[in-house]
């Protein structure tokens, strides 16, 4: 299934049914009178967060959703039937924005959470509604009220506890594959990860969390370089970031600062999140080089950097314990 994290849809709620003009004409009933019924309510358009979805691909080709009009009233004071609602099924973590792409209408963060996006119109009154002591035979009936209509943007921000960041080829996908059942694409060239990947990590019998891997950032990503920073929204909800730096490159401090600048340029308080810094691929360098690069990375980060190798498994357990502790602290657990 293809990954799509943003889609625009046009919505139209159902119009209300029309009221009718009718009069009783029954044998043996001395007095007749108006008995035209009211129209039924038009259907609403709602969005609901459901389990089992992690993409908005369904809304790439189906972009128009219209609820049906309510039923018209009828004689014998019969009210028209209300129309069924139209429900858009979206992944948990979907935000719904107005057409300006800035005004947040809803943020669906839990399974079963619902929001009404367009309300159906109320039905019009039939002539029985207007009967009074001074108006015994009203011939007035109203049209149904129009349903609401609008265009909205659906934007998916995946629900994850921890997020992986780093330059392309920092080993993020390898690390995710090593600690979870996720099987992301792994290759020896940049941008093997083209869209976010999720993996469930269980470091011990009592701890479980979701780890998100996003495409690598390069210098200028906040201005659109490479794949840009459009996928950073998927780690906005994370409690902690794991910043992996390739230990085989000569200047890990520069690599760290490059990613940090892009996080700061993106905004949304991403640069202020708790961060665990790790020098990756330490199995591919000598102990002397490892010590020097760990020292340089720790100085740049302003905190001790951890050593890890997703391929060899070295240091992985320690990193996962640190992530679990940071998540528990960030979630108040």
- Which residue ranges make up the annotated binding site for Mg(2+)? 173, 193
- In this structure, what token pair is assigned to residue 207? 């701890």
- Which residues fall in the annotated binding site for GTP? 166-173, 191-195, 213-216, 280-283, 309-311
Instruction: Enumerate the β-bridge partners of residue 329.
Output: none
Residue 149: name the closest of 6, 8, 14 by CA.
14
Summary count for the chain: helices (H), strands (E): 4, 16
Residue 19 contacts residue 141 (beta carbons within 8 Å): yes
Q: How far is CA 292 from CA 171, 286, 296, 299, in A?
A: 20, 10, 6, 11
In the numeric block, which tokens belong to residue 283?
């199995």
d(CA 33, CA 182): 71
Distance between CA 215 and CA 231 in Å, rounded? 7
Q: Whole-angstrom Cα distance, residue 294 to residue 299?
A: 9
Maximum Cα interatomic distance, the chain, rounded to a whole number of Å: 109
Please tell me what DSSP assigns to residue 74.
B
Other beta carbons within 10 angstroms of residue 112's beta carbon come to 10
Strand ranges in 172-280 using DSSP code E only, listed in sequence order: 197-204, 207-213, 240-246, 275-280
Tokens standing for residue 148: 């609401």
Taking the C-alpha atoms of residue 279 and residue 265, their distance in angstroms, rounded to an integer, is 23
| Tokens 């858009």 sit on residue | 88
Distance CA 23, CA 31 (A): 10
Residues of the binding site: 166-173, 191-195, 213-216, 280-283, 309-311
Of 137, 112, 116, the closest CA to residue 36 belongs to: 137
DSSP 298-314: HHHHTSPPEE--TTT-T
């Amino acid at each position: 299934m293809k990954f799509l994290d943003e889609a625009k849809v046009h919505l139209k709620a159902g119009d209300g049914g029309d009221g009718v003009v009718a009069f009783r004409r029954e044998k043996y009933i001395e007095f007749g009178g108006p008995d035209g019924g009211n129209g039924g309510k038009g259907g609403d358009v709602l969005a609901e967060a459901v389990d089992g979805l992690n993409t908005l691909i369904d809304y790439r080709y189906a972009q128009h959703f219209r609820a049906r009009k309510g039923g018209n009233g009828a004689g014998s004071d019969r009210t028209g039937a209300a129309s069924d609602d139209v429900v858009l099924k979206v992944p948990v973590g979907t935000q719904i924005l107005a057409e300006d792409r800035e005004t947040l209408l809803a943020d669906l963060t839990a399974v079963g959470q619902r929001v009404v996006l367009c309300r159906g119109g109320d039905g019009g009154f039939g002539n029985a509604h207007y009967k009074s002591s001074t108006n015994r035979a009203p011939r007035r009936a109203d049209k149904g009220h129009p349903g609401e209509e609008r265009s909205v943007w659906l934007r998916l921000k995946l629900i994850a506890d921890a997020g992986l960041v780093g330059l392309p080829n920092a080993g993020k996908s390898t690390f995710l594959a090593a600690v979870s059942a996720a099987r992301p694409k792994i290759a020896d060239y940049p941008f093997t990860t083209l869209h976010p990947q999720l993996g469930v990590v269980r470091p011990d019998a009592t701890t479980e969390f979701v780890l998100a891997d996003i495409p690598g950032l390069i210098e200028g990503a906040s201005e659109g370089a490479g794949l840009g920073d459009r996928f950073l929204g998927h780690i906005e909800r994370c409690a902690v970031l794991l910043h992996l730096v390739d230990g085989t490159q000569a200047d890990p401090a520069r690599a760290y600062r490059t990613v940090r600048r892009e996080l700061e340029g993106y905004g949304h308080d991403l640069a202020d999140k708790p961060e665990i810094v790790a020098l990756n691929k330490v199995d591919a360098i000598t102990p002397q080089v490892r010590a020097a690069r760990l020292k340089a990375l720790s100085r740049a980060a302003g905190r001790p950097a951890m050593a890890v190798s997703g391929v060899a498994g070295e240091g992985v357990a320690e990193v996962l314990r640190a992530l679990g502790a940071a998540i528990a602290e960030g979630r108040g657990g």
